[in-house]
Chain A
């Protein structure tokens, strides 16, 4: 069943006056968008007038429709093309910038939902060796993008600490030799962090991100240690410790750690408590992310999963709570998903989020490297391989060059399948200019890289989130908060852009 909205039957339409656009009935008002990323929120009465071609020169609405490219006879192609290029800048990017390296599959936690298809700490056969690490970095630097971001993932990357150190130092030496811009990030569970490791990460400008699902009872239920024990206390300890060190040194202010949460069924009743913990820990952002039925999560979906509609309800309720905190002045914490969508919608810019692009970021924007040197279109693609299906494997650092990866049939299939103009439903959707589909997600859930949008959980949750965000944009109280978030985010990027090539930089 389509979730698109239709015109009322018998509605007058003057097709000769209307430029190409999509629309959505938001209940009492209509949202209009076009491929240039422009949008308008019209009362239903104004929408009817517009559709009937009754908005004429001199009408206050006319100028707005004209400037945003909704009037066929008044299109400013130069400006609209510039808007398109700004919003879709990634279509002109010379290869991927994000390179995720899985330095080991081993992990000391047994998370309920683990996406990463990890193995027991005894499985040292899944550690990346130094030679493979070197070849991986060489491959990464053979890709053409002048900006390279290396992200350590796992398993738990700190279980293979010597290789993390090696990759960091080798990549930085290569960035210096080749005058490339390099950013490095470590995603770890903090349970194996030490002062020495932290010193190294600070000294080498590696930003740090961890997983924090919420209060102890929730976090420890979602992310237990192998063999039992409480993981959340360690996460909180190191978050506080790192913040203390960052706040004590002006030079380290950019290194403030980030945290990511994953929403399970158990999280649904904890929205405000999760936010409160993030606020208490002084975290700048919270990212309300849905769980994907990929990897181990697919096996336990009946226990930890939920319907996409349930996630949207959780998202809206929790976002409302965050906005209330901002309005009341109790906190200025930002919600990351909202910020990503606002960058696209309000600023007409691409915030670099791989999943919501057309085409998607698979290979074009990111690559994932397994411990054994195999190259995948994304980390999710690696997880599918881990379960015995190599469809998303596009190379090997020991044998492949960049051209063979970008020319790989799977790469082409992913790019084609995630171009929304090829997608039933998406091509008519009002959220198309800002949305994206993920081929691996749909392959896992619907057995096809194209997916089936009318029954896709991806589509339900993303359309739901877009509905929430556009409703907030129409609410003056929420809009003030969202505008402030965008302003703060802009300042952050300006600071980041100022770092010259060849110098290590911090991912934020």
Chain B
């Protein structure tokens, strides 16, 4: 979405009243006040980088979810729902829930017991310094660039929706984030993410409520969508309201994807990679106060994640039913001046929300963006300080020195992000490359980490070469399709495959290559002695008990509840 936004012609969608502006300003005052209040509680490394490891399951869980629930995520997936229908829900259900539960029940105990500060830190413990260096440098570099890309995209959205100057949006939001993260560290970022979670729901929930009322309920909504799409001569109009029944063939649904790509590419690889190894989200769980909280946090996140489609997917579907105009792709919108798919959420906001409610909706978008940026910056700061600066440049400094390094890195990280935002402003195509680069590392990193946790025979050389070869495979396929778009038929195994299918199958192949190389090299190299793997690998680690608690407080119980609801929802919307 972000790359497409760069080409948009600015047209103001909504106008804020005085009460709306007061609500927006109050949000900025509140987040800065929280940062100021917490500044005295981030004096040690554990406080600044890990929030003192004292977050409750609810705070860690909502923050974990919130770090992913950015404004561009909301607007982008609402636009995807308008474009592809209910199929976009897969990214919230099978593309998230199994991975979150897997993180909670299988992987989190190892992250938590090892007391690592980061995911690259775990790789250091399990596979040695080369794997950590490869992972840390790529993550730090890409995180700060992604932050800049998102910053520009959000400033562009603010220009389109509200008519705000791009420079104003970039500097006000980035300085605010820099101030509150520098003052309060990860604790400040987490507190503001939880606040953002509530603001997003408060600001966005009214749209589906009023939208369903206007459409006449879910059954009438589906009928209106079918009628509108049939009148527009869209192919397979019925597929816009079914999750699984049209995934038998690539050509039967608007996404151009089949169930193999969704189940194995998205559900088993991409989402597993993102939710279990992307330090941006995992860092929130590492801040949990005990093992039970660390396991419960992703389960709480999963429970709420299942219902996020109410405020993201449903507005897109309602847009299909009630908007009088037909939204178009970004490339067409840039030429014709019509509204694009990605405008659907602001359009629905403007359709239903009067004074005050509009300000809250806009605040939700701003809060989403700032929390996402704070998440990127706090994760970057930790990885830079603990996984790059300390091992490679200064391993014997005091804790106070590393905290100061963290504060300065926060400011520098924000400035690099601002620089990237201005670079993107000049060269829009950079967005495509930055986003693609980020995706290269996710699937192979998951292969490396999960093999490291579950297979004691995996060696340091196996881990490093598997990660490297998986990443190169991903880059190679992306380059191949970029140079020759017809190559997609080979990557995704079908001539009917479309862009999203490429992401799924690219991830699948790079994961498979990573696993094959890791296993082959490991079997050809000397095993690591069992004694060195205690606390890091399944079978050599005593998994700590969550304590003698009632059934309703056990992570396994709630994971089972979430799983049952997950299946019921998929069957209902089959």
Decide if A and B are genuine partners.
no
Q: A residues touching B (Cβ–Cβ < 8 Å)?
A: none
